[in-house]
Structures are given as C-alpha cells and as structure tokens.
Structure 1
Amino acid sequence: MSMNVSDQLVEMLKQAGVKRVYAITGDSLNPVNDAIRRDGTLEWIHVRHEESAAYAASMDAEINGIGCCMGSSGPGHVHLINGLYDANRSGNPVIAIASTCHTEKFGSDYFQETNPILLFNDCSKYNQIAATPKQFATMMPRAIQIAKEEKGVSVISLPGDVAEAPAADVPSSLKSYVTKSVFRPNDIEIKELAEVINNHKKIALYCGYGAKDAVKEVELLAEKLNATIAYSFRGKIFFDKPESQYTVGMNGLLGNPSGFKSLEKADVVLMLGTDFPYAEFMPKDNIIVQIDKRAEIIGRRAKVDYGYQGDIKDTLEVLLPFLNVKKDKDFLEKMHALYVEEEKKYEKPKEDAKENKLNPEDAAVLINKYASEDAIFTVDTGMTCVWAARLIKASKNRYLTGSFNHGSMANALPMAIGAAASDKNRQVIAMCGDGGLSMLLGDLATVMQYQYPIKIFVFNNRSLGMVKLEMEVSGYIDWQTNMINPPFDKIAELMNIKGIEVKNYQDLEPKIKEAMEHNGPVLVNIYTDSDTLAMPPKITFEQMRGFATTMVKKIGLGKFNEVENMVKAGIDTL
C-alpha cells in the first residue's frame, strides 16, 4: 500500500518526537485515525472532550517538549480552542490537527464547515490550511519547527480528501530540527551588568519559569551576593525550597509579604526569566534588571533600567566570575526571617473546623506532606491556586503547573491526564476546584478507561470561591456564586475510580494518606469552608472599603449569618 498524506503526517509527528495523540475521532479525521492504527507506534488517547485533548497535549509538551491533539471537522476542532489558547500563552509546543470538510465544499456553507484561519489565528504561532498534498508536505515540517522554536501552538487544518490522498514529494525537507545554541548577552553587556550588581548592596532575585533550567546557577548567584530569591507562581516549584536560606517566598496576588517586601526594599532587582503580569506588585523606586530570551517582552511589566536578551543559565554562567562576593547578610536574613514567620502560621491546623467546613489550607498542607518527592501537581484556577501557591513546596524533582497565564477553569483534570499518559513513573496529583471539575467532569471517563493512577483532590466549597471573594472586595453582593454539587466521590465510584469523602477534620489526614497510597485512580471529595480568605501580600484601602461595603449590604438584606462568617474568617486569617 502506497503512503498517503495521513501516513506522511504520522511519520513527521514521530520524527518530531510526538509519542501520543489526544483526540476524538470522526468524519474527516478518520483517515488519520486509520494511519495511526496501522502504524502501531503512536498512542491514541481517546478523551471525552476536545478541550481536554488540547490541555492534555499542552501538558505532554510541557513535560516532554512537544504534544499533539486533533479535532474532527467543525465542532470537534472548535472545542480545541480554549486549551490551545492556554498552551500558546504558556509557551508549550503543541501540534493541533484540525480536520475539515472536503476541499470542493469550501465556501459553500457546508455541514460543519468553519473558517480555520479566522478560528485559530489568535491562539497559535502558525496556522494554515493544507488544501493539496504538496501544500501539506511543505507546511507540516514548518509547523513543527515553529511550534518548537517559537514555543507555542501550530495548527494545520487538513481536509478529509487531502488526508486520504497519495502523499506528494516536495523539494523542501520533510524533517524538523532541534537547535541548542548558546544564547547570552555580549561581553560588553555582561560587564555592564556585573558593574551594576557590584556597585549596590542589597540584591533581590525574582525568578520565573524561564529560569527553571538554571536553578543551580541562581542558587550560586544568591550565595555569592547574599541575595534573596523570590519567584513567580510558575517559578515557585523550582525555587520554593524549605531548606534554602535564600528563599523569601512568592510575589504577587497569591504571594507572601516577604516576597513582595524583598523586591520593594532591594537596591537592585534581577528579573530572571519572568513575565509576571501584575505591574502593581513590582517595585517602583529601585534599579530593575530584566534578562529574558524574548527581547520583545522586556520592560512591559516594570520600569526596567537594564534589559538583556539571553538564556538565564547561559547568561549566569558567564556573569558569575565577574561578580564580587557580598558578605553583608542583614537584608537577606531579615527577609528570610519574615518568610519563615509567615510560614509558621500554616503549621497550626484548624482542628475545630465544623463539619463540611474544613480549612482548605489544612488539606493542602497534608497533600504536600504525603505527595512523593517527584510528584506532578496540576492546579485548577481559583481558590485552589491560592492553596497550591502557598503550601505546595519544591522537593527533589516536583513539578507544578496550571492555567497560570490564560487563567481558565477546568484545567487540572485534563492536564493530569496528559501528565499521567506521558510519564507512567511519577505520581500525578490534580488539585481541582468543584467548579472546575464540574466543567469537564466527563473526562473522569478517560481516567476510568485508561486507569491512570491520578490522585484527584476536590476542594468542594460549594461555590465559585475566587469569584465570591472578588465580588466581596469590590463591594458587590456575592450573587450566583453558590453551587449545589453532586457527590463527586460517588460519581467516581461509578466510574471504577476509588471515591473518598471527607467532611470532618479527624478524617482529613488518614483519608489523604489513604488516597496517596492507593494503587490506582482515586478521587477525594473534601468539603471545605467557602468563607476562608486568601489575603494578598499587600492590602489596599479600596479592598478593605469594598469588603466593608459588602458586609453593610448583607446586613441590610438580613444575611447576618454570612456577615458573621465573613468576620470570623477575616479574624482567623489575620
């Protein structure tokens, strides 16, 4: 049998390093399905919703360097979009194959016809329709190369008639290539940067995801300068080491006061591989240096004084010999002591919690305690992000991720599916909100089908907790945020997933320990308190006024129990 375009696609994906495809087959995607079946080396993961396919492929790419998802004609590939937005904004190389109606039907308002160029342009680095076999053979290697080098999504729309047509030969290469160049500022810039650092006393390092491959170099830099190490949410899992004397916590809305203050009080702040989006948490009156591979982002989050383009590891390796040792530890010790004091409050569990109102921080502390040293954590957007940001710690080789740039709900479960499918040897933990899990609840069936041993912890506060808090601090009544949920643990049991319910504090630790030790998939339904507050490192007068306004409005509506709970939650937090 001669090779067709779908066979050619399979060969190109394999050569690029793709090991599995996340998809739901159908109509114009069937030729590709058949080619993968006949090849026998690519794994087809049958998810229950294409959004889950995109999230899972993004997670696969985040761990392994490339991922692939597919959607059938019309609604099938439309469903990919939210997950592709997340992948593209996260810098994860994902190849998305969007099958379409046959080419002769284009422009006729045919059944399930879409315009993929308009549809995918804003969530991709490369987006083309392959209308002939020669176009496909020319476009596909370019799509792979761009996804890998520009770190994002490439979409190839593949009509059904093209997918089953004989493969064509073209003069361009059918391979994709991996480059590993040294990438750093020039020698003059390195010496300029060294002079800035050497001429100032208090140095703070602010590390993001772009510094993940330079942990050793960052720690050597901190040691030489007696500098503090603060980090963004995406950088946290690489630098938040309890044993480190340089760690001062996270900066930002979910961060620590010590992380914020270390940047505010430093003479020089070095932004290392971070595109932290909240400019209001960046210092205003000190010298800011930003180093990043992407020159186009330098200065868009803060008033940067010195900007350099380069890989963090390559840059620091060359920079370190030019730096003078700083012996004064006063600034470092003060900031680290503040961080340690802040962390102590999480050591005291809320043992008197009422039934169905468990403290979510206690649950997160125990998840951190019993998780393996190389666990992969996926975290839903919302209040679950707060508890993960503050309480899940770096260990030997842990990894933590979520929809930290796109900010979508429902990401934790499909990301966990991608992690479990792509790495069979590591523990995978999904920290889900009840709102997020409800959105893609059907993909528990994917966990059931493949029996991925994911540990799913549902922080079930029966509300859209983060939205509720946003409304309260803005002075609004938190209306339409409450949720009546099904018993998630019972649903899990129906899907051949071990289900555990936790409503009382005395059951919390033994049930979490039981879940971690279970040899298979498990869902733990933890009934948490929706009134638990998450205090930012910097509280504004407007936030306090908004919170007070909400309480006055609730008193006027006779909601005295809710006001009492708000006051008590505030006192407990402070």
Structure 2
Amino acid sequence: MDWHKVADLHEFVDGEVRVCPVGRKTVAVTKLHGRYGAIDNRCPHQGGPLGQGTVENDKIRCPWHGFDFDPFTGQAAGGPDFDVPTYPVQARHDGVYVATTPPASHTRTVSDVLVETMLNWGVDTVFGMVGHSNLGVAEALHRAESDGRLRYFGVRHEGAAAFAAAAYGKLTGRPAACLGIAGPGSTNLLTGLYDAKSDRAPVLALSGNVDSSVAGKGAFQDIDLLAAFADVAVYSKMVWAGSEHGELMTLALKHAILERGVGHLAVPDDVQTLEAADQPASGPQGRMPDLRICPPAAPLQQAVEQIAAATRPVVIVGAGAKHDMAAVIALAETLHAPVLTTFKAKGQISDAHPLACGVLGRSGTPVASWMMNKADLLLVFGASFSNHTGISPYKPTIQVDTDSLVLGRFKPVTVPLLGDVGMCCAALSDRLRPHPNLVDQRPEVAERWSVWRTEKVRRAAARADCGVPAAAVIEALNDLVPANAVLTVDVGDHAYSFGRYFETKQQSVLMSGYLGSIGFGFPAAMGAWAAAPDRPIVTVTGDGGFGQYLAELTTAVKYGMNITHILLNNGELAKISDEQRAAEYAVWQTSLHNPDFAAFARNCGAHSVRVEDPAELSGAIAGALAHPGPALVEIVTDPRSR
C-alpha cells in the first residue's frame, strides 16, 4: 500500500466529509464520532462526488441523487450492488493518512493507438482544452508528453487552439492538432478551422464526444459533430469501438496534408478508454505520393508563346507559390519582370530585391499597382484571383496552380497551366524565347520605390490629432524587427497599414487571408512560436482583434512564449467606421471601451509598456523585442491616421 497525507489533524471537524486526492485517485474522507473513514469518491449510480455530499444520520449522502453510504464500510443503503470500496485510514501525530494500492500497469487504449499514429505522422504539437468528454484522449496525450514525444499547450478558449494550429500549418506546411470536448468545446474550434480551410492549411481537429449509449438522444452536450464539421473538414469521422482506429487517424492526416485542410476525428467518451493492446498504430509509409506535377505540353507551349510576345511581363505570386519562390524569382530575373505579391503572400520575396514591388491590391503599395497597370502580360503563380487581390481582369494572363478548380475560377484566363509551381517555372525557363525588345523594368521599379518611400517618410512624420500615426509604427517595425522574424497580423485598419508600409526582408508573414477573421493575430503568434521557437515572433494587432482573445496572454506567460506584441490601440473598430462612411451610413457601434492593455499585460506576468509619444516608439519596441518572454507594446494611435 502507498500511504498519502490528506490533511492535518486540525483540518477536519466532526461530521465533515471532504474530497481528498490520494495519488491519482480521489477519496471521500470523513471524520465522525472521532473516527476517520475513507471510501471511494465516486457514487456507482452516476458517478456523483461523494466527498461533496453531506453527513446525515451517520451516512454520507450523495449530492446528486441522495444515495446513502456508510463512511467506514462503504455499504450502500440501496443494497450491495451499490457498495463502494474503502481505504485504510490512519490518524498520525502529523496528520491524516490514507492508503491505496499502487496504480496498475497501463493497458494500451484506443486513445493510445490514435496518438501513436498521430506521432508516426510527425504531429507532435497540440493546442486545446481538456474536459470531461475527452479525458481518455487527454491521458494518452499526457503519456506521450511525459515520454518527451509531444508538446501540449492548454489554452483559455478552443478558438485560440484552432487559430494556433492553423498558423502552425501555414508556417510549416505540416499539421498541428487542436483538441476540444463534445458540444461547445468542438463548436468553439470552428472559426479557426474555417480559417485553415480558407487558407488551405493542414490541421488535425480532435473532438471528444458523449458516450455511444446516449449519442443522438439529446444528452448533455450531445450534438451531431459530423454534421457540424461537414463543411469545414476535408475528412470527418466518428471513431467507434469496432473501427480500425489507427487507420482512421491515418486517413484524417492524409486528407489534411494532401488536400491542405482540416482532418477531424470525434471519439466517444467510452471508446477512448477501450483496451486496444494488440491494435497496430498506423503511419505514412507507402501512403504519400510525389505531388510535383509537370505541366501538359500544349498549354505549356501556349504560355511560352505568350511570354515570347510580351515586352513588359510581370510576375504575381500568391501563397500557393510559397515553397517554390527560388524558381519563381529565377524566372522573373530572366525576364526582368517585376514581382508583385498578394497580401497573403507578403514576405515571399524580399522587398530589397530589385524586382520586388510589394503587395498588390487593397493593402498594397502604389509600386505594385503602377507596374501591373503598365504590364502587357501577367504570370500568376499560386494566387486565387479573389476580389481583394487586385489582379487586373483585363490583361493577358498565364495562371499556374496545382488545383485544376482554381484555374480560371473567377474569369477565363489566357493560359490556364496545371502543374507544380516549381516544375512549371523550370519548364518555362527551359523553353523561353524572350521578346527581342524585352524591357528591363528594374530602373522603373527603383524609381517608383523612391517616390513611395519619400511619401512613407512624410506620413510617418505627420502630426496626428492624438497618439502616434500608424505609418510611424510600421516604419519603426521596419527598422527594428529582425530579418528572420515571423510576423502574425490580425484583421483591421492596422493590417492595411502593415501591408502598405512594412518592407519585408526574410521575415515570414501569417494572416487570416481569405476568411479575414478578427482575433487571429495573437493565437496565431502562439502557433508560430510553437512551430519556430528559435525565431523572433512578432504579432501586430488592433485593439478590436486582441480584445477577442486577450486571455491567451496568460497562456503565453504560462509557457514562456517569446512573443512581442505590437498593439495599435485607436479605441475604435476603425475599419468598420471607414466602411460605414464609404456607404454613407452613420458611424455607429464601432467605438470601444478598452482597458489599460499595458497594465493588463503586467497583471498577467508579461513585460509591457504604453506609448503615446512618437519619440518613445523605437525604444519601447526595441525593449520588447529584447525581452525573453511575452512582451506587449500598447501604442495609442489616431483612428484617422493611415
């Protein structure tokens, strides 16, 4: 027997029962007529906590349904079928002790098979919340974490877990997992998972579920999880007792990786702990094809002919070209073609490159729009042509993508070229016959940057009605953010300023691109830190976005996440105010009642500083970047400065 001290002698009063942890068990310990008794804490009726009950007529009364139990023998008034185990108790000079047998050796469960398979696929990072309907899965994750095979980050809201996992997938191309309980815990995941779906990031979502015996009967937190996840997930299945459990996890992850989306498994509470000693785990061996697709000959020849006829081609890259930028840039250099990016692809080429023009579209630079307007051919790699990209619908266009449904999705293009971006670039380079009058556009790109940088300096120095101009904040970030940083950007007015003014070096930039979900920024920084803890992580948010997940600052402090948070506080949902004005509506319900964010951050245990004077900006940001842990710089900005 293992003896455990549960209380000092003076703590119990006669006639009291309380819940006491004893190793990994909990027992109901009672002092009655000077004697101590210990019985199992779980009522056999529906699991009610006996230690939270009352002592009446020398019996412990279950707080849930009123069943009575003898505090010394465990005998139940309802008959021997309801008797509960008892445990030895000793009142020693230094306290009350209860003995239990050492825990039995662990028997492998269905949850172990699922987690082992997940680890075999390289998924070793999980964000989530543990609760009553995912405890079996949580225990398997705990065992893996104790063995050093997995990292688990407990969050304050499941939405943050899903955003963090989505950001991890966007940065690495590999899935992380997010975990929720049945009902609201899983539905809270959905917004972050829709972000992953919209931006084609691989994510594994794990849901606990109610017991199989009560599913579909309207039990507590019983919802149809497969229906709830049907639209957001590329693969969503319930794990039943008779399932091939490892194979279901393999299929969830294979779909998530190959289709760049959400793989989802829901596991009923009772299934999670079923014995699975002989069930094999699964893995990726022999299951993953080479996805590099060569372009078909006929459209490739058409593309070569279009390029041969162009004197001012430009290259436009989207996030789909992220992993093939070396090949894209080499092709652009051969053609002296300016390189424009969508906002979601910001940072995929350094703005210091002589052909780089920055972002095209609503969050873009006048350099990019100028060069596109003068182009006679657009070579578009891995971009969607959505209405926010700003890609001209009137220019001859070669569109390259690995997804046939994306080609010409919004309007017909001159040459839809199906294939891997890198393979297509190589094939085009091998066959190029540039126009004899091909224009070297680099001097014009440099000239347009000179004009724009002069204007940026003017805007950064402009006097704001209150606080600091947004342009000044981004210019300070230009000077101070390390070249190898990962930047996560929330949704709001500050994002437009960031896209327009920030010039990337080798930084990676993550955002909620097509879903455009406010609140993305800080949880995404947690995911980026988990994916790349050795890189500086900087998140740029507004007060509206951070307000949705500000409790996650305590998560960052708990795990020592080295995140520098640049918070632009203008006291308003300023982007919505702008939209109301543009529609000639009254500005209504966009003002915000904010806390002192810097004081809040200090209360959470983070480094923080508040800036209202532009002269203090650089020092505050530099100090936050140097701090080895979570740091917040709250900058009061003018909602009318852009």
TM-score, with length taken from structure 1: 0.88
Partner of 2:203: 94
Residues matched between the structures, number: 531
| Pair 1:500 & 2:613 matched | no
| Pair 1:460 & 2:565 matched | no
Task: Choose the corresponding residue for 1:45, options 153, 165, 172.
Answer: 153
Report which structure shows greater RCO (CA 8 Å, sep ≥6): 1
Structure 1: stretches of 5+ with no match in the other structure:
534-574
Partner of 1:301: 410
Provide the rounded CA distance (Å) in 2 between the counterparts of 1:344 and 1:121.
Answer: 51
Q: CA deviation at 1:139?
A: 1.9
Contact (CA 8 Å) 1:353, 1:505: kept in 2 or not? no
Partner of 1:435: 544
The 3 A distance-change label for structure 1 pair 174 and 204 is: closer
Partner of 2:395: 286
Task: Choose the corresponding residue for 2:265, options 142, 156, 170.
Answer: 156
| Pair 1:384 & 2:494 matched | yes
Provide the rounded CA distance (Å) in 2 between the counterparts of 1:405 and 1:294.
Answer: 17
Partner of 1:359: 469
Show CA shifts across 1:29-85 (max 9, x none).
111111122232211101110000001111222233111001012111111010000
Provide the rounded CA distance (Å) in 1 between the counterparts of 2:521 and 2:246.
Answer: 35
Partner of 1:29: 134
Show CA shifts across 1:380-401 (max 9, x none).
10112112212232223x1001
Amino acid at match of 1:289: I
Partner of 1:338: 448
Secondary structure, aligned partner of 2:641: coil
TM-score, with length taken from structure 2: 0.79
| Pair 1:132 & 2:241 matched | yes
| Pair 1:55 & 2:163 matched | yes
| Pair 1:199 & 2:309 matched | yes
Contact (CA 8 Å) 2:461, 2:472: kept in 1 or not? no
Structure 2: stretches of 5+ with no match in the other structure:
1-105
Provide the rounded CA distance (Å) in 2 between the counterparts of 1:55 and 1:28.
Answer: 22
Provide the rounded CA distance (Å) in 2 between the counterparts of 1:77 and 1:98.
Answer: 6
| Pair 1:228 & 2:333 matched | no
Provide the rounded CA distance (Å) in 2 between the counterparts of 1:45 and 1:186.
Answer: 45
Amino acid at match of 1:506: A
How much is the aligned-residue C-alpha RMSD, in angstroms?
A: 2.0
Partner of 2:91: none
Task: Choose the corresponding residue for 2:632, options 517, 523, 533.
Answer: 523
Moved more, 335-344 or 29-38: 335-344
Task: Choose the corresponding residue for 1:211, options 321, 340, 355.
Answer: 321
Partner of 2:353: 244
Bigger helix fraction: 1
1:105-120 correspondence runs (5 A): 105-120=214-229
Moved more, 132-141 or 494-503: 132-141
The 3 A distance-change label for structure 1 pair 200 and 353 is: closer
Moved more, 360-369 or 210-219: 210-219
Show CA shifts across 1:236-255 (max 9, x none).
2112x233221223211111
Provide the rounded CA distance (Å) in 2 between the counterparts of 1:272 and 1:128.
Answer: 34
Task: Choose the corresponding residue for 2:531, options 422, 431, 456.
Answer: 422
Contact (CA 8 Å) 1:264, 1:282: kept in 2 or not? no
The 3 A distance-change label for structure 1 pair 333 and 389 is: same
Q: CA deviation at 1:174?
A: 5.1
Provide the rounded CA distance (Å) in 2 between the counterparts of 1:294 and 1:170.
Answer: 37
Q: Which one has a bigger Cα radius of gyration?
A: 2
| Pair 1:490 & 2:603 matched | no
Amino acid at match of 2:142: R
Partner of 1:561: none
Amino acid at match of 2:604: M
Moved more, 380-389 or 253-262: 253-262
Secondary structure, aligned partner of 2:380: strand
Contact (CA 8 Å) 1:471, 1:478: kept in 2 or not? yes
Moved more, 167-176 or 483-492: 167-176
Q: CA deviation at 1:210?
A: 1.2
Partner of 2:581: 472
The 3 A distance-change label for structure 1 pair 71 and 522 is: same
Show CA shifts across 1:307-328 (max 9, x none).
0111111111121021124564
Contact (CA 8 Å) 1:360, 1:528: kept in 2 or not? yes
Q: CA deviation at 1:86?
A: 0.4
Secondary structure, aligned partner of 1:296: coil
Task: Choose the corresponding residue for 2:522, options 413, 423, 427.
Answer: 413
